[in-house]
Amino acid sequence: MKYTIPNDNLQKHECPLAVIKCVDFRFRTSDQEFVEKGLGYTDFDLFSWPGAAKEVLKLNGFKTSLVEKIVTVSRGLHGVKKLLLLWHWDCGGYGGSHAFASQQAEEQQYTKDLQAVRDILAKELPDDLEIVLAYSKIVPQGLEYLVLE
């Protein structure tokens, strides 16, 4: 089987943003729309695995490997200027929404962890790399994305 897809980006070597997000398929399309339409970035590097960058909090080899890839690939090869840490509601890496006493408790945990991961990464990443924090939560209309200040 052959499948050919036109790709106008093959000559590009720079992008402004790297995104760290969870692999959860339920959020893939919405996350991409948020980054493209909500934040205005059509070109971005994507790092994706279960629980997003929650593993950084364990202070194990994951953090070292992640920082190395951001610095050498996203920053070094692609000229990335911003890093987006993107969490999502009902994350299996946290045991899902049912693992929290309330929606407020879930939101507080995500906010706390996003800020902690940012603080850990900021110590090892270039000073001029801006780190943006965001998460999505389920609302009656679908998903609502919130960018933290």
pLDDT tens digits in sequence order for the chain, 149 residues long: 988 888 777 676 789 999 999 999 999 999 999 999 999 999 999 999 898 889 899 878 889 999 999 999 999 999 999 999 999 999 999 999 999 999 999 999 999 999 999 999 999 999 999 999 999 999 999 999 999 97
The CATH T-level fold of domain 17-148 is Beta-carbonic Anhydrase; Chain A (3.40.1050)
| pLDDT attached to residue 149 | 77
| pLDDT attached to residue 59 | 78
| pLDDT attached to residue 8 | 76
Distances (CA, A) of 66 to 71, 72, 73, 133: 9, 10, 10, 17
Contacts of 1-9 with CB under 8 Å at 24 or more apart are 9/43
Pick from 83, 81, 92, 116: which is nearest to 24 by CA? 92
Element (H, E) at 142: strand 142-148
- 110 CB-contact burial (10 Å; exposed 0-12 / middle 13-18 / buried 19+): buried
Pick from 103, 105, 134: which is nearest to 117 by CA? 134
| pLDDT attached to residue 28 | 95
